Amino acid sequence: MHKKLFIPGPVDVAPDVLEKMATPMIGHRTKDASNLQRSISEKMQKVMFTDRQILLSTSSGSGLMEGAIRSCTRKRAAVFSVGAFGKRWHEMAVANGVLADLFESEMGKPTTPGMVEEALATGKYDLVTITHNETSTGVMNPVEAIAKIIKKYPDVVFALDTVSSMAGTKIEVDQLDVDICITSTQKALGLPPGLAICSISEKAIEAAKQVSTRGYYLDLLALYEYIQKKDYQYPSTPSLSHMFALDYQLNHILEEGLENRFQRHLEMAKYVRSWAEKHFELFPEEAYASNTLTTIRNTKGISVADLNKKLGERGYSISNGYGSLKEKTFRIAHMAETTLEDLKALLNEIDDIIK
Ligand SMILES: *Cc1c(COP(=O)(O)O)cnc(C)c1O
């Protein structure tokens, strides 16, 4: 039996989108391949509210995170972390020999504009990474206020992880002046895992040109230049299957209407939050609670593993807490094509199990 997924990725994929993954292959050096990549880019620009170039990477989101910090850090990166995925960016820097400092917030708390200001004022950094939506703690960072601070430092490249929030909540890349905004397919975009997407600014491209060891496969400059020189092609063979499905799913997303989609996500988030507050507690402060997943503090001390096992027997799956938050918290995702009705059905089952 397929379990309905309320985990923060991979998400359930609509059957017609899954079918597009089975589209017969085309040559990756054909006009059709260029047209496919161009079509995806134009639609992604709408979802991301940007005129900047869109890059695709046949990797999961982590690929472009690694590519960004390695390709565009000239001196030193300031990595702000509010949980597991922020920390990952620091681990990537270290693994690639990129100089970086980690600025961590307490679990459940956001990155504050003050923290960013204090770090950037030292003049030591030329790249900053922010997690928009931290999938471990369920914190959505105050990105507008943070972006305002970063704008005061025109030499600093701003890299933003929107892996678990893009297409589920409004992120206006150009207005925030994000230089590299990264997402991947298996979360709020509603596709199978395996493709990552980012927007990239001229500033980030110019920064990359000053970095000599950008790696090879995840070199953002190479991805960018290939699009310019070869009319929307990809340096190696991309996952054309994902591209067929993404192009199709983006039509669906734009037909739903971005504002409607964001509203649907917000309504689901509010519903889960109020349920959580009735039975448990929210893990983050409500003002910083994510619109695409809710991390709930296990104040009743239930066995989350056991709950999930019982949910599994009823055809549902949620997530335990991440890493050190396992059993102390649990997570319910409400992203991509999930509806309020789906969520109500899930929460009814949980109510019935824990009563
Ligand atoms: C899932 C996730 C990642 C990692 O993305 P992959 O596509 O699994 O590599 C990074 N950041 C956040 C916030 C995520 O939710």
pLDDT digits (tens), the chain, 355 positions? 899 999 999 999 999 999 999 999 999 999 999 999 999 999 999 999 999 999 999 999 999 999 999 999 999 999 999 999 999 999 999 999 999 999 999 999 999 999 999 999 999 999 999 999 999 999 999 999 999 999 999 999 999 999 999 999 999 999 999 999 999 999 999 999 999 999 999 999 999 999 999 999 999 999 999 999 999 999 999 999 999 999 999 999 999 999 999 999 999 999 999 999 999 999 999 999 999 999 999 999 999 999 999 999 999 999 999 999 999 999 999 999 999 999 999 999 999 999 9
> Which ligand 1 atom is at minimum distance from the Cα of 134?
13
* Residues 159, 222: Cα–Cα separation, whole Å: 18
Residues 6+ apart with CB under 8 A from 22: 241
Ligand 1 contact, 333 CB (< 6 A) = no
**Distance between CA atoms of 252 and 255, rounded to whole angstroms?**
5
CA 209 to ligand 1 centroid distance, Å: 27
pTM exceeds 0.95: yes
Looking at residue 101, its amino acid is D
Q: What is the C-alpha end-to-end distance of the chain, expressed in Å?
A: 25
- Cβ of residue 9 lying under 6 Å from some atom of ligand 1: yes
| Cβ of 61 less than 6 Å from ligand 1 | yes
Within 10 angstroms of residue 351's Cβ, the number of other Cβ atoms is 12
CA of 162, closest atom in ligand 1: 13
- Considering the domain delimited by 4-9+257-354, tell me its CATH architecture: Alpha-Beta Complex (3.90)
Query: Which residue ranges make up each domain of the chain?
Result: 4-9+257-354, 25-254
Handedness of CA 236, 213, 181, 83 (dihedral sign): positive
309-314 own/partner pairs: CB under 8 Å, 24+ apart: 310/353, 311/3, 311/346, 311/349, 311/350, 311/353, 312/3, 314/349
- DSSP class of residue 284 equals S
CA-nearest of 220, 168, 230, 216 to 30 is 230
Task: Tell me if domain 4-9+257-354 and domain 25-254 are identical in fold.
Answer: no
The fold of the 25-254 domain, in CATH, is Aspartate Aminotransferase; domain 2 (3.40.640)
Contact 89 CB / ligand 1 (< 6 Å): no
Residue partners of 252: CB distance under 8 A and separation at least 6: 14, 17
Compute, in angstroms, the gap from residue 163 CA to the centroid of ligand 1: 5
DSSP per position, 205-263: HHHHHT-S---STT-HHHHHHHHHHTTS--SS---HHHHHHHHHHHHHHHHH-HHHHHH
> Ligand 1, from 80, 87, 163: best to mutate by most atoms within 8 Å of Cβ?
163
Residue 343: CB partners within 8 Å, gap ≥ 6? 6, 268, 271, 272, 332, 334
